A and B are shown apart, each in its own frame.
Chain A
Amino acid sequence: MAPAGTGSDTQRRAGLGRRVVGSFVRRREASILLIAAALFVVFSFMNSAFYSPDAIRTMADFAAPIALITAGEVMVLICGEIDLSVGMVFALSPIIMYLVSASPPDGAGLPIWLGVILGLVTGAAVGVVNGILTTVLRLPSFVATLGMLFFLNGVNLIALNGFQVLTPGGHTFRLITGNYIPQLLFNAEFFWAVGAVLVVQFILSRTRWGLHTIAVGGNMIGASEAGVNVNLVKIGNFVLATTLAGLAGILDSVRITSILPLQGGTGVMFQAVAAAVIGGTALIGGAGTVFGGFVGVVVLSVLNIGFNIVGVSAFYFDLIIGLAILGSMIANVQLGRLKNVAGLQ
């Protein structure tokens, strides 16, 4: 404890440089960022097409929807739960948008913005149900959202009768949701994803909600003894996750110009969970960052596109992701243990 006054002032100023370096070393997302950069360099040396605008754009296309889903999934994981249903909400929200805004007789022919809103509200409603199943009815979130996963898959197939349809919406709508903007290299969805990552990271590290989310995941009983409404925090984060998943689904349906009942699904969900874990989020809750999750998404997309371009079989992609998850979890557990040992001495 430094005494108040000039002493602590100089100490704080001297600590700034060290703090930047120190926090970089301490933060797990920093080390994974280095890995992402290293992968990028390796692939670039192996094939110059890897850093071409086309390849980078393809990586951004791959990353954007997963980044949106991951941003919400990280929050759910930090408060000590998991949401397996986000991939199905990813498919559900654009279907709702289609049913609302497609021209009759396929849809209700209402304005596209109303379709978007109702699509997002439906996504949020799934989050409310997931949250209530987990908190009020006390199901483990793994089971609650597993049930929701299958249920929504059925809903999606029934709603479109198993068929693929065209995404509704006019030119302006396409421009702001999913189309390429030639001057900006990336498609609009990517910018939505970056915006979402920034906003959710701000919520996590700079607001009371974020603090309470970490508290609920770190010590649930303690947080409630301190007066935190644990159920509200959990339900709120489930809603955040499914709403972002619904937004990702709507934006992605514009980019690919069609809506499929089997779009997304368990594939994007598991990639989001993998990205969160690779980015340093603890599956037991209480720790993690949205930035880390985003870097995890970047690693996944660099690997995915990199393997494609250098001509490695796609079979290796899952193999590498498996190793990356195991490796980062081992680092998670062992670094945490080392930190505790060091802290007690």
Chain B
Amino acid sequence: MSEPDARPDAIRAEHIAKRFGAVVALRDVSLHLRPGEALGLVGDNGAGKSTLIKILTGYLRPDAGKIFVDGEEVHLRSVDHARSLGIDTVYQDLALVPGLSVAHNMFLKRELVNGWGPFKWLNNRAMSEQARTYIANIGIATLASVDSEVALLSGGQRQAVAIARATHSAARILLLDEPLAAMGAREGKLILELIQEFKDRGDVSMILIAHNYVHVFDVADRLNLLRNGEIILDKLTADTSIDELTEIVASEYRVGS
């Protein structure tokens, strides 16, 4: 992303504000995401990261502010609407249904169907086959079968299924909320490799949310630090260091700062 680029931002948010009753979750947040970029959005628990992501994915509506996708202003009405613009999300809680198969989870709310008019039935064969092919392509080799229930999968496998769900329908803007939370070292590596692969392909722009910036330092091109509902730092990863970030984060807790 070093040379100037005439393309509009994949997504740009200006002066987003959101409050829940008396609680101000987002004060005045502006951020942008370049095409093909991986932006690390870091901040403490309660800084407003998840609220921001839920606004960008159409799940919550902001009280104020504008959102632009590919340079065009949009008013995101629903998750489906955001998805139709190519925005997809891997939520922190993964949003998987334990009693449904991997394939059904991957196609939840955009199922493949046969039939006419109001008489439509699920095309389970096509969903299973597409899910199987896609999962093999992105290299989640540890998954036994796309027909097994998600309840039977490990944490890392579930994370991989959630990422596969968000990306298999050609999402261009991917929001990942705490992709490495509650993940073992080996599983975390699997997810990081997956993210790196999307980065290498270059057709997906990503926002990686983490409370621990060390997790995303290696994969993010740029870092935004969110604190108390505002972004207080915006730097290329190459221009900063873990030490500098530690200093900034720690300064909040110093007496008299």
Contacts and interface: CB of A to CB of B under 8 A. Distances in A.
Interface in B90-136: 91, 93-100, 104, 108-109, 111, 113, 120-122, 132-133, 135-136
A227 B97 contact: no
Interface of A: 1, 3-4, 8, 202, 206-208, 211-212, 214-215, 217-219, 221-228, 286-287, 339-340, 343-344
B152 to A, nearest CB: 4
Contacts of B154: 344
Given A208-B113, A286-B99, A344-B154, A222 B80 contact: no
B225 to A, nearest CB: 25
Per DSSP, chain A at the interface is helix
Contacts of A344: 154
A170 to B, nearest CB: 32
B104 A211 contact: yes
A1 B83 contact: no
B141 interface: yes
B59 interface: yes
B136 A222 contact: no
A164 B89 CA distance: 59
B97 A215 contact: yes
Contacts of B95: 219, 221-223, 225-226
Contacts of B109: 212, 226-228
A211 B101 CA distance: 10
Nearest to B94: A222
Contact of A208 (B79, B111, B145): B111
A4 B130 CA distance: 11
B78 A211 contact: no
A225 B59 contact: yes
A211 B80 CA distance: 17
B151 A340 contact: yes
**Considering the complex of A and B, which 7 residue pairs feature the smallest CB-CB distances, nearest first?**
A222-B95, A343-B152, A227-B79, A225-B95, A218-B97, A227-B109, A218-B99
Contacts of B140: 1
B137 to A, nearest CB: 10
Given A224-B79, A226-B165, 11 more contacts: A1-B136, A8-B132, A202-B121, A208-B120, A215-B100, A218-B97, A218-B98, A219-B95, A222-B96, A223-B97, A343-B153
B136 A4 contact: yes
Contacts of B152: 339, 343
Contacts of A222: 91, 93-97
B143 interface: yes
Contacts of A225: 59, 79, 89, 91, 93, 95
A343 B151 contact: yes
29 contacts: A1-B145, A4-B132, A4-B133, A4-B136, A207-B122, A208-B111, A211-B111, A212-B109, A215-B108, A217-B99, A218-B97, A218-B100, A219-B95, A219-B98, A221-B93, A222-B93, A222-B97, A223-B108, A224-B59, A225-B79, A226-B95, A227-B83, A227-B108, A228-B108, A286-B99, A339-B151, A339-B152, A340-B151, A343-B151
Given A1-B143, A225-B91, A286-B98, A211 B136 contact: no
Contacts of A343: 151-153
A214 B99 contact: yes
Identify which of A217, A222, A228 gathers the most chain B CB atoms within 10 Å of its CB.
Answer: A222
Contacts of A202: 121
A211 B135 contact: no
Contacts of A227: 78-80, 83, 108-109
Contacts of B151: 339-340, 343
Nearest to A288: B99
B140 to A, nearest CB: 8
Contact of B135 (A1, A206, A219, A223): A1
Nearest to A228: B109
A206 B97 contact: no
A200 to B, nearest CB: 14
B83 A211 contact: no
Nearest to B148: A343
A286 B97 contact: yes
A74 to B, nearest CB: 14
A123 B140 CA distance: 49
Contacts of B79: 224-227
B132 A219 contact: no
Nearest to A336: B151
A217 B98 CA distance: 10
A44 to B, nearest CB: 37
Interface string B12-46: 00000000000000000000000000000000000
Contacts of B94: 222
A131 to B, nearest CB: 20
Contacts of A214: 97, 99-100
B156 to A, nearest CB: 13
Nearest to B107: A211
Nearest to B91: A225
A22 to B, nearest CB: 12
Nearest to B114: A206
